Amino acid sequence: MNKHTVFVAGKRFILLSEDSEEYVQNLASEVSRTINEISEANPKMESRSCAILCALDYADDKNKETQRIKSISDKAKAVIDNADKHAKEIKDLKEKIKYKNDTIAKLQAQVSELEQQLKTKAEPKAEQKPVENAVEKIEEKPIQQENPQKNQPPKAESQKKKRHQHPHENPYKAQTLEKKTEKIENKGYTPVRQISLFENEE
């Protein structure tokens, strides 16, 4: 510790302090000034009584400052407690928001799944489309009737030629005339002309 010599109200004092010389001298000057102010305000008061009033004055300032610091500390503690409370409330709100967001995401997934199921039920299955198309093609395809003349034996070329000589010529008529002519020739008659069984024939 350091020794410091100071003068307070005209009296010499030796103080032991770890503080600097400048700090101790400033402190002694402040106390001496306060005692002088009290002495000037009360000229009949002794220097000892002035020193006691100065000590009371400094004690009062110290207590008030201590109370002020305590009040500030209490307010700071209340602010910290409120901050912690608000932080906890914020944390709880964040957890609730997260839970609600997760619930919304699950509900959206369920809605999407239901929409997909409804869409799948509304649309025809891909496997049934070829069958339906085949049925439509079969219904649209006209039914071909069998040609009754397909299995008949081919006619003689002479009959085909005679049949196609004239669009209105009857092939059965020509066959009948040929047979009659053969019968007449076989009996030895010479036919003068052929008699037509059909009218308006040249």
Closest CA to 174 of 186, 184, 188, 164: 164
More confident residue, 71 or 182: 71
pLDDT, tens digit, 9 for 90 and up, residues 105-145: 999 999 998 988 888 887 665 555 555 555 555 555 555 55
Q: Kindly give the pairing relationship between strand 11-17 and strand 2-8.
A: antiparallel
Q: What is the mean pLDDT of residues 194-198?
A: 52
Contact (Cβ atoms closer than 8 angstroms) between residue 36 and residue 9: yes
User: Which residue reads 């439509």 in tokens?
Assistant: 136
Q: What is the pLDDT of residue 187?
A: 52
Contact (Cβ atoms closer than 8 angstroms) between residue 28 and residue 19: no
Q: What is the pLDDT of residue 117?
A: 86
Q: Is a pLDDT exceeding 50 seen at residue 202?
A: no
Predicted confidence band of residue 151 (pLDDT cuts 50, 70, 90):
low
Q: What is the pLDDT of residue 177?
A: 57
- Residue 157: CA count within 13 A, CB half-sphere: 0
Q: What is the pLDDT of residue 174?
A: 55
Buried b (16+ CB within 10 A) or exposed e, 142-155: eeeeeeeeeeeeee
Q: What is the pLDDT of residue 201?
A: 47
